[in-house]
Chains A and B, each alone.
Chain A
Amino acid sequence: MSNIHGKVYAMNAITPMKPWKTWVLRLIFFLLGHIKPLQNDLINLSFIEFARWVIIPRHRFPQLGNGQPKEELKYDYLLFFSNFNGTWNQYIDAFSAVLAKGLNLVWRWSEKFPGSVPVTLFKEYIARVQFDTDYYYTAYPHATANDLKAAHIVQTSFDSLSQRAASLSPDQFAEAYLTFKLQVQGNLGETGEAPVVF
């Protein structure tokens, strides 16, 4: 059982929301999904591999009969699942430092949310609403989001050069090879083990 696998951390959090507030949040997520520039900050915080929010209305927990009792809840629930690189502290510190407004927009509708700034109370809240992962799999434990993006750039450049390589004269090749190096030079970081978590 671990929240961590290789370079990626699986965070799970659940927070209660008064049902009328859920509709506001749905609208916010709708706008976030359709207005791309709002996602820029998330993209630029380049340590998230995948993240999702799932709203579970209080009457919509899966109910399959077979004697399973129906849930009777007052609150809707907001589930959050993140797959990020780095440590728990690093992750929350970064969000609190640069995405405070965005975080507040999403979580202010959850009961007892203290705000994402300052960071100490925010960390206490997350620690309280976080629950642990039983099984965590990643197809690329040795690579971070940065490594993946870099790798795709290298693959594209390599494919382009290797297709033409044999048909060029040596001098043309030397020129093309230099261009290739310039394209990939910022994307060659080695992959491997993650630093020890602290």
Chain B
Amino acid sequence: MPNQNGSVYGLTILSPILNDEKATPSHDLQIRRYLATLPTGENSPFAQAPGTHLARLVVMDDVIYVGMPACEEHLKSKYLIFESNIDCADGNLERYLRGLAETVPEQVDAIWSHCVGYPGLGNIKAFVDYMKACQMETTFFFAAVNDRSLPQSLQALQTQKAVAEFIAMHQGMEPAKLQAEFVAFAARLNAEPIPKPGSMSSVMGSRREIKTGGHNE
């Protein structure tokens, strides 16, 4: 099943965008504008709804003309592409879509209300059917890590940092003391909540200043 790779699922949805000449700005521009200010960190709708490793939204204006002797042609509609890499071990997409509809309805409405045939979120089944109607089959899906869920990944990153710090600070310690300290450390670490998705902040304490290239926060 090409959409599936281990426990991760490659969701590709192409939603035709409304083409209303009376809309100012046009619907595709309204989507763009909204997306430009939508948070991409902890407050992202994809951080709040469960199951998203990585996701993107792209307004595809048209196909691209690669030059002669290829023919020039154009799409009649613009499409909103939703490419998402999600936890879905059993291939049941409905749970993920439901998660979006129930956790972040405001954002889902704000984006997809500009698309053809969007039924709103009053009837969740209608929403799921609508998204599935726009789903394209992923022909080939590659995942570097395909057997760990999102919470497992976030926890592992937290553990990695904590373990590095513990090892560095406990060099040359005699065995009984080391053991006691490790047991206490393990108890603390296992009690730590799983870090929030989408966050740049480190674990067990310090916050970092975000300075990455051009994201929305």
Contact B14 A136 (CB under 8 A): no
Write out, one digit per residue, whether chain B residues 69-104 have a CB within 8 A of any chain A CB (1) or not (0). 011010111010101010000000000000000000
Which residues of B in the span 137-154 have a Cβ within 8 Å of any Cβ on A? 137-145, 148, 150, 152-154
The size class of the interface chain B forms with chain A is: 35 or more
Write out, one digit per residue, whether chain A residues 32-71 have a CB within 8 A of any chain B CB (1) or not (0). 1100000100110010111111111000111111101111
Q: How far is the CA of A112 from the CA of B179 in the complex (A)?
A: 64
Q: How far is the CB of B61 from chain A (nearest CB, A)?
A: 8
Please report the total number of A residues contacting B with Cβ < 8 Å.
98
Residues of chain A within 8 A (CB-CB) of B70 are: 16, 75, 111-112
Write out, one digit per residue, whether chain B residues 181-194 have a CB within 8 A of any chain A CB (1) or not (0). 01100100110000
Query: Is A187 among interface residues, defined by CB-CB distance under 8 A?
Result: yes
Contact B56 A62 (CB under 8 A): no
Contact B14 A62 (CB under 8 A): yes
Contact B116 A68 (CB under 8 A): yes
Q: How far is the CA of A166 from the CA of B178 in the complex (A)?
A: 11
Residues of chain A within 8 A (CB-CB) of B143 are: 49-50
Chain A contacts to B: CB under 8 angstroms: 1-2, 4-8, 10, 12, 14-16, 26, 29, 32-33, 39, 42-43, 46, 48-56, 60-66, 68-75, 77, 79, 81, 83, 110-112, 125, 128-129, 131-143, 145, 147-152, 154-155, 158, 161-162, 165-166, 168, 170-171, 173-174, 177, 181, 184, 187-188, 190-194, 196-197
> Given A73-B73, A75-B71, A177-B182, list of 4 further CB < 8 A pairs?
A66-B116, A138-B54, A173-B179, A196-B213
* 7 interchain residue pairs of minimum CB distance: A64-B117, A162-B186, A139-B197, A151-B156, A170-B175, A174-B175, A155-B156
Selected A-B contacts with CB under 8 Å, 30 pairs: A1-B32, A4-B212, A4-B213, A5-B40, A5-B215, A14-B63, A49-B53, A61-B14, A64-B133, A68-B116, A71-B76, A74-B71, A81-B83, A112-B66, A131-B60, A134-B57, A135-B38, A135-B56, A137-B54, A138-B53, A140-B157, A142-B208, A155-B155, A158-B159, A162-B189, A170-B176, A173-B175, A174-B175, A177-B179, A192-B208
